[in-house]
Amino acid sequence: MKVKELKEILAIASAGHDDDEVVIEIKAEPLHIGGTPFVKVKDAWYGFDWEHGKFYLTPSEELRKCQNK
């Protein structure tokens, strides 16, 4: 996804939803019933130096990659 695409989605989706939480979906195994697991977004920032050209979303909790079984 490019920043331009995110801006377009936010322009449409934010109408009347300014106080909604921004979250990151977490894929859970095994499948479950109920709401989608998520973590809140703590911060958003543009990369610089080696991260130049990237836009980062920082989760409010540490996320780690795990091995698929």
- Tens-place pLDDT, residues 9-57: 888 887 888 888 999 998 877 777 888 889 999 999 999 999 999 999 9
Give the strand order in the sheet containing 55-59: 23-25, 38-46, 55-59
The pLDDT mean for the chain works out to: 88
pLDDT in the model for residue 34: 87
pLDDT band at 69 (very low <50, low <70, confident <90, very high): low
What gap in Å lies between CA 29 and CA 52, rounded to an integer?
Answer: 34
Q: Where are the domains of the chain?
A: 23-64
pLDDT in the model for residue 54: 93
